[in-house]
Structure 1
Amino acid sequence: MNVTHEIQLLVQEINRLGSKNADGQTSVKFGVLFNDDQCANIFEALVGTLKAAKKKKVVNFQGELLLQGVHDNVDIILLQE
């Protein structure tokens, strides 16, 4: 699967699982995304897709790399739909 397509799928999943924050942006906790069955079936490497999406300024989150368990409460903010 190509990166652009994976990022598009990620945007759809963030919209499905997330909610609007105070700034009107859609955000979702990493743990919610990571533990969702549908996301697990779509993404072989969720962390890699998130990193690529951050590099392309589609999403933003605190830190460089997110790890399951440790970073479950980190907000992933959708910057572009």
Structure 2
Amino acid sequence: MNVEHETTLLVEEIRRLGTEDADGKISVKFGVLFNDDKCANLFEALVGTLRAAKRKKILTFQGELLLQGVHDNVDVILL
């Protein structure tokens, strides 16, 4: 798995699915990202890609790990 490539794709998908707030930051709910058909086909391990992007300070979200169902309303925010 090429982490750089995966994170680039993830940023594109967040921009596609997300909305821009007053500060100009784009965010999307984890549930929207997880349940999107295109994302499901692109990412074998969406949660792992999110964690890698968070470590690289490309995006942020509350908590360490996002789980489908439990964290569907958590915002994933591009930095």
Relative to the length of structure 1, the TM-score reads 0.95
Structure 2 unaligned segments of length 5 or more: list them: none
Residues 48-57 or 21-30, more deviating: 21-30
Q: Which runs of 4+ in 1 moved over 2 A?
A: none
Within 5 Å, give how 1:23-42 maps onto structure 2: 23-42=23-42
Measured in 1, the distance between the counterparts of 2:52 and 2:69 equals: 21
Work out the number of aligned pairs and report it: 79
CA offsets, 1:43-73, max 9 Å, x none? 0000000000000000000000000000000
Superposed CA RMSD = 0.5
Instruction: Give how far 1:23 is off.
Output: 1.6
The corresponding residue for 1:55 is 55
Q: Which amino acid aligns with 2:21?
A: N
- State the distance in 1 between where 2:32 and 2:41 align: 14
Distance, in Å, in 2 between the alignment partners of 1:21 and 1:42 is 26
Comparing 36-45 and 15-24, the one that deviates more: 15-24
Q: Which runs of 5 or more residues in structure 1 are unaligned?
A: none
Give secondary structure in 2 for the equivalent of 1:62.
Answer: coil
| Equivalent residue, structure 2, for 1:8 | 8
Cα distance in structure 2, aligned partners of 1:70 and 1:23: 27
**Scaled by the length of structure 2, what TM-score is found?**
0.98
Percent identity of equivalent pairs? 77
